[in-house]
Amino acid sequence: MSPRKKDEKKYTKYVGIFLAVIMVGSIGMFFFSGGSTNNNNEQTSENVQVSGFESVPGQHIGITLNSIQDGLQVTPDNVTTARYMNIAYLKGTPLQYLTGNTSVYNNFYGSNVTKLYSAGYDNSSWIEMHEIDPKVVAFQYYTAPETYKGYQPLSRGQGIYNVIGTPMILGEQQSVEATIDVIEGDAESAQKFNEILQFASTDAPIQQVVDLENEFADQYYVEWDIEDDSSFRRTALYADPTENTMNNLTTRASNTSQRGLNYNITEYGNIIKVDINANASNFYAMAMEPIQ
């Protein structure tokens, strides 16, 4: 691998790490590229006729999406980063500000996106899953000429496809088909993060995990949750953290009073768990607390 490619890969990793701290939310390559969603009649969004999911023939997706673990169970293998957000739960709470601007999804579907999951790979491919409410087809699309294993892909332009259901599947054709293969039991799901996720919650409204390949740890996971009306928690998991990382964590844990934070560090073999709690007045300090 060339030095330039190594630098690009490392930069991509650190972008993922940065997002793991502030959780601005992934909106996928399609949204960044400003993809078109016109249908055969070139309708504007105001003229799209709203109909139920039943208006789209073929099988519909029907899986549980309540955590990053649920998403990974139907994600093709070799994923290097994944993210989950329960947007509906976060609405109106301070944690909402960590999700970034998710309104682009509502505009994309013509419906409210209540849950979001995304996964990325080293080759820049990606897959996303979105639960929407109400469950309507209020967007423009082309019907793909061929179904895939009974599912009807809907072209959204620029090589991007939706598959109807709960959740909606969004991605390039190859990623969508690979995800359907996993859902149908014809391919293996992502296994890379099984060990570290044993120590993660299954109901945290914000979760992200990333494969670091021997940076400050082999793998890093972070979740955010609301303990009660005025208390918040950030939990981080480190798989095989470096000695320098451990030294930094223990140092910060020993002098948290001035920042209004409460640290708890637990070791589970090669997995280190760091819980940080703070009240609402110290939420910003918790959000900005370094991860390494």
Give 134-189 as a DSSP string.
Answer: S-EE-S--EEPSS-BTTB--EEEETTEEEE-EESEEEEEHHHHHHHHHHHTTSSPB
CB environment 151-190: b (16+ within 10 A), e (fewer): bbbbbbbeebbbbbbbbbbbbbeebbbbbbbbbeeeeebb
Give the domains, in start order, of the chain with CATH numbers. 51-182 (no CATH), 191-286 (3.30.70)
Lowest mean pLDDT among 33-42, 127-136, 162-171: 33-42
Strand-pairing partners, residue 169, are 129, 163
pLDDT of amino acid 47:
52
Task: Assess whether pLDDT exceeds 60 at residue 284.
Answer: yes
Q: What is the pTM of this model?
A: 0.86
Residues 272 and 238: beta-carbon distance below 8 Å = yes
Q: pLDDT at position 241, please?
A: 96
Of the pLDDT bands very low, low, confident and very high (cuts 50, 70, 90), residue 230 is: confident
What pLDDT, on a 0 to 100 scale, did the predictor assign at position 1? 42
Q: If you average pLDDT over residues 181-206, what whole number do you get?
A: 97
Q: What pLDDT is stored for residue 44 in this prediction?
A: 34
Lowest mean pLDDT, pick from 23-27, 46-50, 192-196, 245-249: 23-27
What's the whole-number mean pLDDT along residues 128-143? 96
Q: Is the pLDDT of residue 32 over 50?
A: no
- Average pLDDT estimate for 100-120: 93
Rounded distance between C-alpha atoms, residue 149 and residue 172, angstroms? 16
Residue range 64-86: mean pLDDT, rounded? 97
Element (H, E) at 236: strand 231-239
Say if residue 3 is preceded by a cis peptide, omega within 30 of 0: no
Q: How confident is the model at residue 40 (pLDDT cuts 50, 70, 90)?
A: very low
pLDDT for position 129? 97
Q: Give the model's pLDDT for residue 238.
A: 98
What residues form DSSP beta bridges with 235? 223, 275
Q: Which two tokens stand for residue 239?
A: 């798989």
Phi, psi dihedrals of residue 182, rounded to the nearest 5°: -65, -45
Position with higher pLDDT, 13 vs 194: 194
- pLDDT band, residue 256 (cuts 50/70/90): confident
Average pLDDT, the chain: 86
| 26-40, 91-105, 120-134: segment of lowest average pLDDT | 26-40
> What pLDDT shows up at residue 48?
67
Q: Is the pLDDT of residue 24 over 70?
A: no
Q: Calculate what percentage of the chain has a pLDDT beyond 90.
A: 74
